[in-house]
Structure 1
Amino acid sequence: MNQHQQTILPEGGKARRVYLLLRDEMASGVLAEGSLMPAEQKLAEIHGVSRVTIRRALDALAADGLIEKRAGSGSVVRPRAQSAAPISGDMASLMPQLVEMGRTTTARLISFAYGSAPATIAAALELAEGVKVQTATRVRLVDDMPFSHLTTYVPEEIAAHYDEADLATTPLFELLERSGVLVDNAHQSISATLAAPDVAEALGISVGAALLSLKRVVRDSSGRGVEYLSAYYRPDMFRLEMSLERVGSIEARHWQPIIGPDAGEGA
């Protein structure tokens, strides 16, 4: 468990909705650090809920250390703990940035085992029946702050060339190449999800908190599946950006991603 207190979202769908809305307003600066929050009755009117619901949401925010409840004067937004600036990744050149991120951040190995691949993983990697995979879960940190939860699945014949100690100190792409794998291409998808209890504990966030979800299948030059990655990123610590330019003739003008050194900051 890291230095950040982990709590569970308040009971009740309405209280959770209010909690998440208020937390987002604090993160974006709409509710500034040190400012006095609206009274419970006013918040109830704004969000169309009861004062009991508002109280549950405020209690959860206080437990998270985001507000300070002061008797007789209401709730004050607490200053956010000093941390590293969010890591930025450009959508148009995300893969090399993620590789570089592996070299410039640290990792903590949570679990390591060999066994049969889950059906969805076996299908994605196109593994023959009975093929075992190495499953490793790591948390990646920047300045001791956890920002991503990574679970990788690698066929046993490849993974046998490195061990737990290697995974804790070396980016997986380097370990694959060291094992003789010629990485050729990858397909990945990005979506949003909510933090399950184990992921929330590892990242030091609330159960049910919003996360960026990334799934990636990596293949070698022969088309063989060599890695499946399931990754979750804290949106307050990692963001995706994209630079666009307007191109085409007058009749068919459209937006196009800018790919190259000017596309955005590396991660």
Structure 2
Amino acid sequence: MIKLKNALVDVATSSLPRSPGTSLHRQLFVVLRDEIVRGTYSASGVLPKEESLCERFGVSRITVRRALADLAAQGLVERRHGLGTFVLQDRLPLMRPRPSLSLIDSLRQTAAETQVQVLQVEQIEAPLDVAALLHLAPGEKAVHALRLRSMGGTPVMLSDAWVPAHLGKQVTAASLRKQALYEILLAQGVKFGRVIQEITAEVSDPIRAKLMQTEVGAPLLKIVRLMHDLDARPVQYITVTMTPERSRILMDIPGETVNTLSAGQFVHEVAHKATS
């Protein structure tokens, strides 16, 4: 345990990588934000001085100052001239709330708390992987809907959904501005059953970075859901993209399902090196 802790300290005190993608000041912002949220500075209430951060991460003072400015813009710290950078304790998240909503209730809450912008609705042939998961015949079309949800003008979710064409007749840009997609399907008599979900991460490309108001190469949370009806027929394939600085995924696994796949499973895909 001590060796692991020392190893983590060594990693945390090493220089930030000089690699293409996310800028150094953004990487430093993410590291410091996570340390603040975890309570690393709760005892003193003050972040290390700029010189110390420069030495710890091997970056310039201008990089440190840009990262601290981003933290201040997020309302996590207050910079006091000549005194330092102080954590705003009243702005930090307290105990994580206990999830208490079903999937449908969670979708309903998301729809109620956010404002939707319908970016695209079209009926086209789905990509091969999506078509296979939705059990679409060759050449069969599906309804594709791309939406951006925001809170107070800040983007929080980019939703990319596909439904079989026979279920998507009522899915239009106008209807999606009034109702969430799941509500449209429910109104057609669809009753949701099994849900297969995968959680991964990806980096933002220029299009997603612009929509989500983040940097190109910034990390994104990616949730893929394949939803079925009560007869185990796939009715919706949806990909939801979020930024980890604004959103997180909260789960509560009942004890009776802890030994089932409902509790989740780690899946690793590592290429095996060829041996001579």
TM-score by length of 1: 0.67
For 1:12, the equivalent position in structure 2 comes to 18
For 1:264, the equivalent position in structure 2 comes to none
For 1:44, the equivalent position in structure 2 comes to 54
Aligned partner of 2:108 among 94, 100, 123: 100
CA contact (8 A) 1:216 1:228 kept: yes
Matched, 1:110 2:140: no
Between the aligned partners of 2:17 and 2:177, the Cα distance in structure 1 is: 37
1:165: Cα distance to partner? Answer: 1.3
Check 1:37–1:221 CA distance in 2 against 1; reply closer, same or farther (3 A cut). Answer: closer
Between the aligned partners of 1:256 and 1:144, the Cα distance in structure 2 is: 41
The one-character-per-residue Cα deviations of 1:154-181 (angstroms, maximum 9, x if unpaired) are: 1222212231111122121121122343
More moved, 185-194 vs 21-30: 21-30
CA contact (8 A) 2:198 2:224 kept: yes
CA contact (8 A) 2:155 2:213 kept: yes
Check 1:146–1:125 CA distance in 2 against 1; reply closer, same or farther (3 A cut). Answer: same
The one-character-per-residue Cα deviations of 1:214-239 (angstroms, maximum 9, x if unpaired) are: 11111234433221010023433444
CA contact (8 A) 2:28 2:67 kept: no
Q: Which amino acid aligns with 2:168?
A: A
* Gap regions ≥5 residues in structure 2: 1-15, 263-276
SS of residue matched to 1:162? coil
Between the aligned partners of 1:85 and 1:183, the Cα distance in structure 2 is: 34
Matched, 1:217 2:223: no
Between the aligned partners of 1:55 and 1:121, the Cα distance in structure 2 is: 46
Check 1:160–1:239 CA distance in 2 against 1; reply closer, same or farther (3 A cut). Answer: same
Between the aligned partners of 2:238 and 2:94, the Cα distance in structure 1 is: 25
Between the aligned partners of 1:83 and 1:114, the Cα distance in structure 2 is: 44
Between the aligned partners of 2:101 and 2:87, the Cα distance in structure 1 is: 36
More contact order relative to length (CA 8 Å, sep ≥ 6): 1
Between the aligned partners of 2:253 and 2:32, the Cα distance in structure 1 is: 29
Aligned partner of 2:214 among 188, 205, 209: 205
For 2:35, the equivalent position in structure 1 comes to 25
Matched, 1:137 2:143: no
SS of residue matched to 1:109? strand
* Gap regions ≥5 residues in structure 1: 1-9, 248-253, 260-267
Q: Which amino acid aligns with 1:56?
A: T
For 1:59, the equivalent position in structure 2 comes to 66
1:11: Cα distance to partner? Answer: 9.3
1:150: Cα distance to partner? Answer: 1.0
Identity %: 24
CA contact (8 A) 1:11 1:56 kept: no
Q: Which amino acid aligns with 1:105?
A: E
Over the residues paired in the alignment, what is the CA RMSD in angstroms?
Answer: 4.1
1:85: Cα distance to partner? Answer: 9.9
For 1:156, the equivalent position in structure 2 comes to 165
CA contact (8 A) 1:62 1:68 kept: no
For 1:250, the equivalent position in structure 2 comes to none
Check 1:24–1:136 CA distance in 2 against 1; reply closer, same or farther (3 A cut). Answer: same
Number of residue pairs matched? 236
SS of residue matched to 1:240? coil
CA contact (8 A) 1:102 1:171 kept: no
Greater share of strand: 1
SS of residue matched to 2:250? strand
Check 1:37–1:184 CA distance in 2 against 1; reply closer, same or farther (3 A cut). Answer: closer
Between the aligned partners of 2:183 and 2:223, the Cα distance in structure 1 is: 20
1:75: Cα distance to partner? Answer: 6.3
Check 1:37–1:140 CA distance in 2 against 1; reply closer, same or farther (3 A cut). Answer: same
TM-score by length of 2: 0.66
